[in-house]
Amino acid sequence: MGGIHYAGDLNQRFNIPKNIGLGGSIIIQRNSLDTRWAWRNTFSAGRFSSADKNSNDPFLQNRNLSVRTFVGEFSSQVVFNFLPYEIGGISPNMLFPFTPYVFTGGAFYYFLPQAELNGTYYNLRNMDTEGQGTSVYKKKRAAAVQFAIPVGLGIKASLNKRVGIGVEWGIRKLYTDYLDDVSSTYVYPEVLRRERGDAAAALSDRSLNLQVDDNENYSNLNRQRGDSKSKDWYSFLGVSIVWRINDNRGRCPSY
């Protein structure tokens, strides 16, 4: 159990305390070749929230966007222990009771960004707030399930013959900029109102200085809403309790 943290257009300064939510994982791991290498499959889930109002940047405060995003992930990873380690390890078998470790692999994750308007949360994927899929802009809507590369490190220790504990932090390299539903430029709100509804038009631009003149000239049209050149990230930080299912420590010791 632990937390999920996000970095992207609504958290450009990597502010951790205000951009972290609850997260957790279920991990099944098997030591493979020896006590230094392991292979594991992991299911992780969590939800974070972020808002421009928490920024110290006047431009971002004026943009006034916010999001909460649920993430569910399945990953397969290779783990390398810096020291020969197993739960219940003892020195006569050349095993250590603790070790730092690193891991990497591949992951598929599902994400669902939402935003609040007048007390109701809306699924932003259906709102297409930057014109995705509309007849005018024809941008592609971001896929709900995408590929990521997890990379991380941690330290773990054996408490007894069956139980171990650990602490780890793992970041995910993503290939989308829509984890927070913010990426490129503002679009004409009447297009969204006509094709996605009033809520979509309102959620696309919540700027504090929004202006529309008598001729319906829209002050933010085509102005920057996000930074499409940099992709979003999320990471998990957590404390784990590990139970050893089988005990095969009866093998011959190393010499």
Average pLDDT over residues 114-141: 92
pLDDT of residue 121 exceeding 90? yes
What's the mean per-residue pLDDT of the chain?
A: 89
The length of the chain in residues reads 255
pLDDT of the residue at 216: 64
Predicted local confidence at residue 16, as pLDDT: 67
Q: What is the dihedral of CA 199, 120, 2, 241, to 10 degrees?
A: -120
Q: Which CATH architecture has domain 2-243?
A: Beta Barrel (2.40)
Q: What is the reported pLDDT for 14?
A: 64
pLDDT band at 213; cut points 50, 70, 90: low
State residue 152 phi and psi, 5-degree precision: -165, 180
C-alpha radius of gyration, the chain, whole number: 23
Predicted pLDDT at 198: 94
pLDDT at 218: 78
Q: Is the pLDDT of residue 104 over 90?
A: yes
pLDDT above 90 (res 96): no
